[in-house]
Structure 1
């Protein structure tokens, strides 16, 4: 099979060297060029176009945002952003995601070489996932269920036990997504009216990025969108985004739903984890919930969606035709936890119909 052709763009010689060496060790990846800035990269790309671009954002001659916008306008290409884990870096990287970048690899201000060497597997995995991405929809076998038990123990699902679990008119929509999810969530949430059912979301994203992501969505949506804090109510017209680096669980207080935000072990390589959220929704909301799993690499959320389905919740997966990466929805469908499969442009309609 043909190797994945990658161009690395970074003004740091150390980063270029480490990323080249890391990717070159993967037998299915070929680094065709390393460039100190986007202008040099574009010259190389005119000679040989890459399958995946790995790029920094803050660079000389042309900033990474302008570079991304140019690429996505002319020839959309899967792009992984390697960005600084700072408040300023997070703000810029959110612009990159909005411009079409698929994934974020964060790097510290100090000790970058050691960090990138330690994060080699993550970089390779991100490139492989990006190479499989369906860029036509990017806009300007399952592992055993064990990891989630460390955060939230399995119980009899709501709906198979006491009917008291359902003595409320409150409903909740739970959404899980990963690679390609920032654009997909924007496409869905901007279509929803202000009075839509309360929504809880896990989007795989590093710490410091989720607050800015929520702020961006809040500026675009009729619904209130914010990064979740422990004890926040799930209310009509409100979207709560799980904070990066912490899990989010649904809880019940009387007839009301609220969220618990807490630390814990990484689940399915992620924190926050979709499986953790979905399992909690299955346990406390049961048939009062709608679960939606969208574009993403891996299988996080598939087991939790099956538990929601078993508890009587309505469950929906994004169709392969619109997924950037058809990983998480595919596994959820194969496990039998999905009642309906719809393309991205119909997911908002499912949420509106459910609220009625």
Structure 2
């Protein structure tokens, strides 16, 4: 039986094009169309769709409010469509925090040109999210605003052999689908005084990562910002890889910095494999690599490189993952030292590094 889809958008053109694209796949069927958020809530309750596509800027009721009400009354996997602007990213992050599971850029050019790549991506997202049947990850309350106290960088020593008591010199956390909420859950549980630098790799397009980093910085006790080329690695500072680019690490005599670069040879931009692999070469056994929820297997080969030099790999468990793809890939490859639930991940990282 095909997965039943409810399309929510106030543009008649977008409604019909989405319906046409979705119905091309034999395992997907549009069963309803709503022109605003209020109608979306009503049709969700009456039609009980398997998945919903949701615009955010609509009359009567906006998409974020509709997501919140749907999750409260009839939890359903929701895929948001978002404009590729800072404001669009900010609203999309609000929708993800309210319970939406994933998002796609709303590109009228692609829709008008009948781009096959758009059809393939949309079909993949809808099938994956619809079959997952996941309800959103429980939200956690942001920590109190951190005091404006400077944290002195801890010198980064040369690579050394890992022992059972060795503290990681660097923490790298990667995620894809479900990642914005999962990363928030992990990072808000870390204390302000955190003894290691953190690198974050979240599959996101350009413009989104700046908004996401700003949001995390306001919610967390640690500092968070979008990485720029040459940023120093500092304890208590999380650097988020910018969308559309790759983040590597480089060591110097007085510490380490990130290198931000273009690399069109790789599917994911940013890619966890690339950041993991770079850290394996530069930090040896001094890395704690963490793989969270997400589609695909990005991170597996990089984790293999980290394990080969003695670093530890942790992965999120299936029960708390929105999509058990990335963490499953490293677990099935026999690369995980620990498999943890999302709620245990942040406290466990804090204990490992303090």
> Which residue of structure 1 lines up, in the alignment, with residue 269 of structure 2?
271
- Distance in 2 of aligned mates of 1:12 and 1:325: 30
> Which residue of structure 2 lines up, in the alignment, with residue 355 of structure 1?
353
- Contact 1:108/1:115 (<8 A) preserved: no
> Which residue of structure 2 lines up, in the alignment, with residue 172 of structure 1?
170
> Which residue of structure 1 lines up, in the alignment, with residue 190 of structure 2?
192
Shift of 1:187: 0.6
- Contact 1:242/1:272 (<8 A) preserved: yes
> Which residue of structure 1 lines up, in the alignment, with residue 288 of structure 2?
290
Q: How many corresponding residue pairs?
A: 332
- Distance in 2 of aligned mates of 1:116 and 1:78: 25
> Which residue of structure 2 lines up, in the alignment, with residue 127 of structure 1?
126
Task: Trace 1:311-350 onto structure 2 (pairs within 5 A).
Answer: 311-350=309-348
Shift of 1:118: 4.2
- Distance in 2 of aligned mates of 1:45 and 1:170: 47
- Contact 2:45/2:74 (<8 A) preserved: no
- Contact 2:174/2:201 (<8 A) preserved: yes
> Which residue of structure 2 lines up, in the alignment, with residue 182 of structure 1?
180
SS at match of 2:58: coil
List 4+ stretches of structure 1 deviating above 4 A: 109-112, 115-118, 167-170
Cα deviation, 1:162-217, whole Å, max 9, x if unaligned, reads x9543998710011101111111111100000122211010111110111111111
TM-score of the superposition, structure 2-length normalised? 0.88
Give the direction of change, closer, same or farther, for the CA distance of 1:164–1:172 in structure 2 (3 Å limit): closer
SS at match of 2:294: coil
Cα deviation, 1:212-234, whole Å, max 9, x if unaligned, reads 11111111100000001111111
- Distance in 2 of aligned mates of 1:81 and 1:314: 35
Q: Which runs of 5+ in 2 are unaligned?
A: 140-156
Give the direction of change, closer, same or farther, for the CA distance of 1:22–1:109 in structure 2 (3 Å limit): closer
- Distance in 1 of aligned mates of 2:333 and 2:347: 25
SS at match of 1:54: strand
- Distance in 1 of aligned mates of 2:99 and 2:253: 42
> Which residue of structure 2 lines up, in the alignment, with residue 261 of structure 1?
260
> Which residue of structure 1 lines up, in the alignment, with residue 45 of structure 2?
46
> Which residue of structure 1 lines up, in the alignment, with residue 20 of structure 2?
21
- Contact 2:9/2:54 (<8 A) preserved: yes
Task: Trace 1:1-356 onto structure 2 (pairs within 5 A).
Answer: 2-108=1-107, 112-114=111-113, 118-133=117-132, 135-139=134-138, 165-166=159-160, 171-196=169-194, 197-254=196-253, 256-265=255-264, 267=266, 269-356=267-354
> Which residue of structure 1 lines up, in the alignment, with residue 145 of structure 2?
none
Computed over aligned residues only, the root mean square deviation of the Cα atoms, in angstroms, reads 2.1
Give the direction of change, closer, same or farther, for the CA distance of 1:328–1:93 in structure 2 (3 Å limit): same
Give the direction of change, closer, same or farther, for the CA distance of 1:134–1:352 in structure 2 (3 Å limit): farther
- Contact 1:224/1:237 (<8 A) preserved: yes
- Distance in 2 of aligned mates of 1:117 and 1:9: 22
Shift of 1:45: 2.2
- Distance in 1 of aligned mates of 2:223 and 2:33: 42
Which range moved further: 333-342 or 51-60? 333-342
- Contact 1:210/1:241 (<8 A) preserved: yes
> Which residue of structure 1 lines up, in the alignment, with residue 144 of structure 2?
none
